[in-house]
Amino acid sequence: MVRGRQQRRADTPARILDVAERLAQRQGYNSFSYADVATELQITTASLHYHFTGKAELGRAMIRRYTERFLEALADIEARVSAASARLAAYADLYAGVLREQRLCLCGMLAAEYQTLPEGMREAVLGFFDANEAWLSRILEDGRAAGQLRFTGSPQDAARMIVAGLEGAMLLARPYGDATRFQSAAQQLLQGLSAGPATE
């Protein structure tokens, strides 16, 4: 019995983050409160403050965990998939998976609220996008060197286009409740990277 209570106590921070992340992805960071999280978990707000002293700390932890999981997914893509174009398709599918859960990318959602976020959260949001752009830039550069991808401009510019395109496609697909809108936009975006000879 004691072990069970200890296990639940140890799981509480993860459960708090799970609920906060879902609320932020569906409603936005500024639209939920500690009381909302506490009510859903059937715990007191004091318990929330025990694990995360304030909402800004909770927000930073939420972004940090989301980023870590996303980077783990990117490492998994590289381990499983060899062709650059297939790696990009797998990358886009990460976004599609989030959308299928009727959510938006956490950091994409937070980017819309960027000016109202605490400074530490702002830095964490930028860190997420910087890490994604760095990974994509490397995949794009290697793909072009191997003759698998063709695009104009720098790999960094192409990486930024991919992130912006996928985030925007998610946002516009959401009000229609139609994931195929996202899938079509993502497919067109990625096909454009390998269509025709590149000109520098």
Is the residue at 7 inside a domain?
Answer: no
- What is the share, in percent, of the chain residues with pLDDT greater than 70? 92
Distance CA 70, CA 47 (A): 28
Is the residue at 88 inside a domain?
Answer: yes
Distance CA 190, CA 86 (A): 10
Distance CA 173, CA 54 (A): 33
Quick one: which of 97, 107, 98 has its CA closest to 63?
A: 107
What is the domain count for the chain? 1
Is the residue at 144 inside a domain?
Answer: yes
Give mean pLDDT, residues 119-126. Answer: 97
pLDDT for the residue 197: 44
Is the residue at 197 inside a domain?
Answer: no
- CATH number, domain with residue 138: 1.10.357.10
Is the residue at 96 inside a domain?
Answer: yes
Query: Domain containing 112: what range?
Result: 57-191
Is the residue at 37 inside a domain?
Answer: no
Tokens 């994509």 identify what position?
Answer: 136
Q: Is 175 left (phi over 0), alpha (psi -120 to 50) or beta?
A: alpha
Is 6's pLDDT higher than 70?
A: no
Distance CA 151, CA 80 (A): 24
**Cα angle value 82/87/89 (rounded, 5°):** 140
Cβ–Cβ under 8 Å, residues 186 and 162:
no
pLDDT for the residue 3: 42
Q: Given pLDDT bands bounded at 50, 70 and 90, which one contains residue 123?
A: very high
Of the listed ranges 55-59, 78-82, 157-161, 177-181, the one predicted with least confidence: 177-181
Is the residue at 65 inside a domain?
Answer: yes
Mean per-residue pLDDT of the chain: 92
Q: Given pLDDT bands bounded at 50, 70 and 90, which one contains residue 194?
A: confident
pLDDT for the residue 9: 56
Give mean pLDDT, residues 167-176. Answer: 95
Using only C-alpha atoms, what is the Rg of the chain?
19
Please give the single-letter amino acid code of residue 145. A
Is the residue at 200 inside a domain?
Answer: no
Residue 88's Cβ-count burial label (10 Å; 0-12, 13-18, 19+) is buried
pLDDT for the residue 74: 98
Q: What is the pLDDT of residues 12-52, one digit of tens each?
A: 999 999 999 999 999 999 999 999 999 999 999 999 999 99
